[in-house]
Amino acid sequence: MHPILGIALGESDEVVVELPIAPGSPADGRTLAELQLNLEPGFTVLALRRGQRYIYRPRGLQSLFAGDEIIASGPDEGREQLAVRFGWRLLRDNETGVDELVPVSSKPT
């Protein structure tokens, strides 16, 4: 996470995540309004990266496509659900605390 985001969030329970949209995921080809990420799992999309371009504070009519990447903030407990909506399982290495994204379609190792 960028240091400025850490300062802005302070001691809150919110996290900032960066997630790519996987092909064929529930988010692929849908608008932010259709996904209602702010309601469940409670995330606000801060930016959308499409290729080399960023769209800051995207609005509800903004469509998401495979290969796009979102930067969003929300509750720590909603990260796994958000990852699934974008086509990923979130695996945490308990020793390092680092998260790994694994496609939902792959089997756990």
The answer to whether residue 59 sits within a structural domain is yes
pLDDT at 24 over 90: yes
In a domain, residue 108? The reply is: no
Query: Could you list the residue range(s) of the whole structural domain that residue 81 is in?
Result: 3-103
DSSP H or E stretch at residue 35: helix 32-35
- pLDDT over threshold 80, residue 10: no
Give the model's pLDDT for residue 46. 94
What φ, ψ does residue 47 adopt, rounded to 5°? -155, 155
Which CATH number covers residue 16? 3.30.70.1450
Question: Structure tokens of 1?
Answer: 């996470």
Query: Distance between CA 30 and CA 1 in Å, rounded?
Result: 26
pLDDT in tens, 32-77: 999 999 988 999 999 999 999 999 999 999 999 999 999 999 998 8
Q: How confident is the model at residue 2 (pLDDT cuts 50, 70, 90)?
A: low
Tens digit of each residue's pLDDT (9 = 90 or more) over 68-93:
999 999 998 899 999 999 999 998 87
Q: With respect to residue 44, please indicate whether it lies within any of the assigned structural domains.
A: yes
Residue 21 domain-assigned?
Answer: yes
Any idea which residue has 């960066």 for tokens? 18
Number of compact structural domains in the chain = 1
- In this structure, what token pair is assigned to residue 84? 């699934």
Whether 109 maps to a domain, the answer reads no
